[in-house]
C-alpha cells in the first residue's frame, strides 16, 4: 500500500503537471493538512534539525518538505525564487512578509499566522521569515514550484537587513 508521504508526493507531482500548478497544489494541500494519516506521518519526522532536513522530494519542477519544526524555531528573512504553498498540519506557523526597500534594504509589510489545518500560497517574489511561536512542534508541509535546493536566491541579515546569497547553514537560529 502506498505510504501517506509517498501519496502526497504523487499528488503534488500531478498538481504541478496540471495547467495551473500552484492553484492545484493549493487544493491538494487543503485536503492533506486535514488527512489524519498524512498529519501523523509528517509529525513522525521529528528529528529534523534544519529546514533542509525536511525535504522528502525534489526534482526540477517540485520540492516537497514535510516534518515537525521544533518549538521556538525561526528563520532569517529569505526568498525562494519559486512559488510556494505552505501547509500547516499541526500547530502554527507565523509568516512575516517583507519588501525590498532602497534605504533600509528591507521593510516589513505584513504578518500572517497560519494555524492548523491551514494553507498559505506565496508568490515567486515573496520574501518572508517564518517562526514556530508555540511550545509544541509545528507540523509543516511546504511545496515549491521547482528545485529549492538548486535555485539562486537570497536571505537578509537579520541585524543589518543586507541582502546576501542564500545559504542553508544560515537559515536557522534554533
Ligand atoms: Fe521560506
Domain residue extents for the chain: 4-169
CA dist., res. 70 & res. 104, Å (int):
31
Q: What is the pTM of this model?
A: 0.94
Mean pLDDT for 93-97 is 98
pLDDT value at position 124?
97
Radius of gyration of the chain (CA): 15
Cis geometry, peptide bond prior to residue 117 (ω within 30 degrees of 0) = yes
CATH level 3 topology of 4-169: Jelly Rolls (2.60.120)
pLDDT digits (tens, 9 = 90+) for 24-56: 999 999 999 999 999 999 999 998 777 889 999
92, 80 in Cβ contact below 8 A? no
pLDDT value at position 172?
56
Pairing, β 138-144 against β 84-90: antiparallel
pLDDT value at position 145?
98
Mean pLDDT of the chain: 94
Is the pLDDT score of 127 beyond 60? yes
In the reported structure, the alpha carbon of residue 38 is separated from the centroid of ligand 1 by a whole-number distance in angstroms of 21
In the reported structure, the alpha carbon of residue 72 is separated from the centroid of ligand 1 by a whole-number distance in angstroms of 16
In the reported structure, the alpha carbon of residue 1 is separated from the centroid of ligand 1 by a whole-number distance in angstroms of 32
Mean pLDDT for 119-124 is 98
In the reported structure, the alpha carbon of residue 126 is separated from the centroid of ligand 1 by a whole-number distance in angstroms of 9
CA dist., res. 68 & res. 138, Å (int):
5
In the reported structure, the alpha carbon of residue 40 is separated from the centroid of ligand 1 by a whole-number distance in angstroms of 23
Amino acid at each position: 500500500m502506498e505510504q501517506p508521504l509517498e501519496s502526497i508526493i504523487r499528488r503534488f507531482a500531478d498538481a504541478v503537471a496540471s495547467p495551473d500548478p500552484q492553484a492545484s497544489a493549493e487544493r491538494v494541500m487543503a485536503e492533506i493538512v486535514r488527512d489524519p494519516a498524512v498529519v501523523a506521518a509528517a509529525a513522525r519526522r521529528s528529528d529534523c534539525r534544519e529546514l533542509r532536513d525536511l525535504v522528502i522530494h525534489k526534482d526540477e519542477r517540485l520540492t516537497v518538505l514535510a516534518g515537525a519544526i521544533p518549538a521556538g524555531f525561526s528563520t532569517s528573512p529569505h526568498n525562494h525564487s519559486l512559488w510556494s504553498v505552505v501547509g500547516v498540519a499541526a500547530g502554527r506557523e507565523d509568516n512575516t512578509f517583507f519588501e525590498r526597500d532602497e534605504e533600509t534594504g528591507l521593510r516589513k509589510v505584513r504578518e500572517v499566522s497560519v494555524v492548523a489545518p491551514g494553507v498559505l500560497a506565496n508568490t515567486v517574489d515573496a520574501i518572508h521569515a517564518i517562526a514556530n511561536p508555540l511550545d509544541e512542534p509545528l507540523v509543516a508541509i511546504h511545496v515549491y514550484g521547482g528545485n529549492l535546493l538548486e535555485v539562486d536566491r537570497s536571505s537578509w541579515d537579520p541585524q543589518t537587513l543586507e541582502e546576501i546569497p542564500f545559504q542553508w547553514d544560515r537559515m536557522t537560529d534554533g
